[in-house]
Chains A and B, each alone.
Chain A
């Protein structure tokens, strides 16, 4: 080709190293599935996954001073971007420990021995008996992480859409691969997929409309076009609304939340942990970037929209959670409410709001990982014991695990000396700084409602006697133990000494454009 017409894009590969490492590892993982013998696959995949995540994190730290638009302005390696990538990698690392656990379930790990075997079939029984493990989860997991890394740095609607799909498709699959209660799991996967596909379509349609207005899918260009063409906003406002639908779906905000409880309940606990923590980080990261960078000029349009959605989300999530009898569904509704609190931070459209939202994500993601680590350990003969009443007396029989879970509940309720309190504090502070008094009041009311069901779990665990045939707490391997310890440590330390993390976030500054 004529070099004068087509100039190869200039790419700073070093700055993109984290994505490259994770992406390459995912591809190698697929090849491993084909060429490595069944017995050796698991160790190889584990080394690949943990090794690539650690290496990617090291590369990120090494290149963390980069502040540039890379790949012809398609990716922004800026302060918040680096921070969010780092958070995604850390969360993925801890989630990987949960995925790697194979001691809590006597039959193997959390995944069906072969996803294609019909639930309840002879095939399935035979495979289980032979102790087959499904190692395809590892490349799928790494692809999802890759998607997240790109999602939080994309400064171009098309790249963002591709990243969205790279992130979501493996998750749809992972959700359907539970070893226990497989029909529930498959139903969850299908719901997640169909609703997710809808929301992706909305996102794409929105991107097309925005392109129609701005003549570009590039965030900087969209922002410039908004400044250049005041008053002819119809097209881009509709586009904004549709983009918002896609992103609000991913974070599980009301009224796009219906998938959350089913998917949380049906998926294997380690996958729910990963989804609940990392997808929230990625989706909020992307939402912040779209709203603050591309559509900052439209903030008068989207601010009231987000206020209303944030308010409804915290209230609905908290209220419906009260009525739940299944712990995973309760946590699912609680995650909806928590998303609402983060939206309060997002809706401020200030740097403080951006930082507050990121801090909230840090606090919330580790608490979520810990919650699902505990849930994966409390089991009866049928798998995870998720009916809340089954947890009666856990504080008597397993004080350590119950105390850890109580700490997570107190963190979600926003009790001081936990990370959740500082998170709520920074978000409310950011909101009051822009005089969003009503929103803070709504948030406070929702917190009180929410406290009721968080406290109820503590009541069940500590103040009730164990039931007949109560579930036992499986003794986990070092993987889950470590993941749980990290989650507790982060939850407590961020509650007592949040300053270093607050500094880190503040130093990251704002989005590049």
Chain B
């Protein structure tokens, strides 16, 4: 992580110099017309920029990044969702702009604590979620408060905090998408997920 930015800057500068050098080379080759077929028929000629011209180029070049990592992540999340579905763990729901555990939430968490005591080797991720009202950024913090309130309540019930990891998705991974109070309620939740590794 150290010097990551510098490294990136360095690479970029090197890249620019290289591109510049290539650009000059191509200009010369192009104007002399000596190099057009190296890559076979139908391959575009290297662009030519003559003296006195200004080339407008695209400065954003992005390669597809890590499709394998994305696939693994998706697979892991699907495994977690399937494993969670077999546990009977219950989610916790919150009031608008609130992160305190309601009476219903306490009942759900009592059941969840019982499950955790029975399944002593298991660990959970507690995800905080929010409805669509308010800003994306502040809802990340609100979601984390909800997740931590859930963890705190489970710890009070005797569960080791080390088994409970919290995260927050704010309003960015909603369970439902309608603009109704029912849907909003579904999205204001602490979602418990069984960890598979």
A binds B: no
* Residues of chain A having any CB pair with chain B under 8 Å: none
